[in-house]
Each structure stands twice: as C-alpha cells, then as structure tokens.
Structure 1
C-alpha cells in the first residue's frame, strides 16, 4: 500500500489520502449493531470508508481467502456504504494459485455493497517482493495504472452524479 500511496501522490498531490492499516487498529467484531453505535477505531474505520470518494483495498490472501479482519469491516458497514464509490484492489499472495480470490470473493462483496469496482486489479506474488520492497517493475507499473484508473473513474462518476442531481430542482 505504501507504493500505492506514493503513486497517488505522484499522480496528483492534491488528492487527499488516508491509509488505514487494520493491523494497527483495535476494530471490534461486528455484532449486528449499526456502525454509529461503535466507538474508537471501529467507528473511525467505518466513517472513513463511507466518507471517501474512492478506496483502494490492499490485502493479503490467507488460506485462499480474504482475511477475516477485512470481511469484518464489510460486516460493520451498511449495505449501501460503498454506493457511488470507486474501489480499486491490490492483493498479495504467496503463490499464483490464489489470483482469483479478488475476483471470486472480494469483487462480489463490493458489488453487492454497490461499489464501482475498477476493472483491473493488481495481484502481487511473493516472488515480486524482496525484503519488503517490490522488485518487479511490472507490479509497480500496474499499481500506477490502478491509481490512475481509480482517479479517472472517481472524477467521471462524480461528474455523472452531479449531472444526475442537477436534474432535480430541490
């Protein structure tokens, strides 16, 4: 995600960005309450996601699935929480065998929650990373492309939303 953050800054330094690292936060398990009833990190994460125009989800793949902490965040949110938001995906895994996790597990959740998912996602294998650094030029180029596509789609959907709202006289 640090590469994505750098790519966003390079693409357009005026884009306001926030990195939310679930490993550094104390997010409660979803128990069916409305997100507004949670406090602390849990509520901050929910409100930050719902307040964003665009989201880039970066996640490892564990046991051929998205991590429970990421699924928990989706469970905390209302079903329309991602409506009209553009969402890009970056997934990492130990092997190429799990490249479809984003397509078959994450994308259906996002589309159910009414997100506009960027068509191409970035899949990063363990062989593309050495000592915490991306060593594949192809991966960094794909991250840059994902950032650009996310920004362009966000502007396009924002423009379309404004045009749609302008049709109503109230």
Structure 2
C-alpha cells in the first residue's frame, strides 16, 4: 500500500512540513505503508491546457502518474485569499475525471487566521468528491501560530495529536477500502 502526500505550496516550508508530519503519522500507524512526499516546489508543473497528459512535460506526467498510482493521498495546502493555492488547483485540474475513485483523500491546511479553518472544506472537498475520492471524517487545520517561527515545525501539542489521529484514520480507511476494491 502506498500513500502519497502533496504539498501544494510553491514557497515557504509550513505546508511541506505539515504534509511530512502527516506522512510520519501514516508510517507510525503502519510501518509497511510506503510513503512519498510530492512537493510542488520541486517540480515544473505546466498549466492545464486541456490536452492529453502525454502532451505535458516530464515533471507534469511524473507527478500526475504518482498520484494516480497511490492507494491513498494526503493533500496539504496553504490558504491564500480564502482559497486553496493556485498551484494545487492547477494540479487537480490536470487529473483525469474519477482520478481518485476508490482512494482515501484527506487534507491538511494552514493559514494565518482561524477564520480560514473551513476554507479547505468548502474549496477542496468538492474537487476531491468530483474526482471520486473518499474523504475521511476528520481533517486538520493548522494556524501559523502553531508553528515555531524559527524552524517552521509544529509545536502545538493538540495539533500534533490531531495529525497522529488523522494518519491512523487515513491508514485504516485505506486498508479497509483496499480489501473492498
């Protein structure tokens, strides 16, 4: 079983740190699970043009195919202007219809204000559902105040506990789904 984490930010370290923490929680819940971080900063993803995947550059094809091959997915996004990041939205636009069918797709988001804690639910969940993903009942929001300002690691104990619970839930649901498909 493989679970990939997508860090949907092109700048900063908070989002990739959150996704790494989720992948660590997944691995702690089941040592046999293969994990991989897809940090969009590390790839040259082309803008969606409405052409077949084979027309896009190697990085775009590589990232899309890694996601398609995964059994489970955790998506991390910062909240910009009360929405998910544009780079993440572009990546999701590149996905074929029903790309997430039979996959558990959870998410973690971060923002500078608690006022944005439901943005991912309203912006990201409809896209995940359209692509056929199964969303865990609990996902995680991290306020910038929950990070150490020097090294961008999460320092809030309750947030760390929620991430660990999220990882366990993601593994359990993915395992259960794998036996059903």
Alignment match of 1:32 (pick from 43, 50, 69): 50
Task: Check whether the contact 1:84–1:115 (CA below 8 A) recurs between aligned residues.
Answer: yes
Number of positions where the alignment pairs a residue of Structure 1 with one of Structure 2? 161
Aligned to 1:159: 179
Q: CA deviation at 1:14?
A: 1.3
Q: CA deviation at 1:9?
A: 2.3
What residue ranges of structure 1 are gaps of 5+ in the alignment? Answer: 162-170
Alignment match of 1:134 (pick from 143, 154, 178): 154
Alignment of 1:62-101 (within 5 A): 62-101=80-119
The whole-number CA distance in structure 1 between the counterparts of 2:20 and 2:121 is: 23
**Rg comparison, structure with higher value:** 1
The whole-number CA distance in structure 1 between the counterparts of 2:54 and 2:172 is: 31
C-alpha root-mean-square deviation of aligned residues, in Å?
1.0
Q: Scaled by the length of structure 2, what TM-score is found?
A: 0.86
Q: Which has the higher contact order (CA 8 A, sep 6+)?
A: 2
Q: CA deviation at 1:33?
A: 1.0
Task: Check whether the contact 1:54–1:150 (CA below 8 A) recurs between aligned residues.
Answer: yes
Q: CA deviation at 1:146?
A: 0.8
The whole-number CA distance in structure 2 between the counterparts of 1:6 and 1:52 is: 16
Alignment match of 2:124 (pick from 103, 106, 114): 106
Aligned to 2:5: none
What residue ranges of structure 2 are gaps of 5+ in the alignment? Answer: 1-18
Task: Check whether the contact 1:82–1:110 (CA below 8 A) recurs between aligned residues.
Answer: yes
Q: Secondary structure in 2 aligned to 1:30?
A: coil
The whole-number CA distance in structure 1 between the counterparts of 2:40 and 2:174 is: 24
Task: Check whether the contact 1:34–1:76 (CA below 8 A) recurs between aligned residues.
Answer: no
Q: Secondary structure in 1 aligned to 2:66?
A: helix
Q: Scaled by the length of structure 1, what TM-score is found?
A: 0.91
The whole-number CA distance in structure 2 between the counterparts of 1:103 and 1:68 is: 16
Q: Secondary structure in 1 aligned to 2:76?
A: strand
Task: Check whether the contact 2:73–2:104 (CA below 8 A) recurs between aligned residues.
Answer: yes
Q: CA deviation at 1:8?
A: 2.1
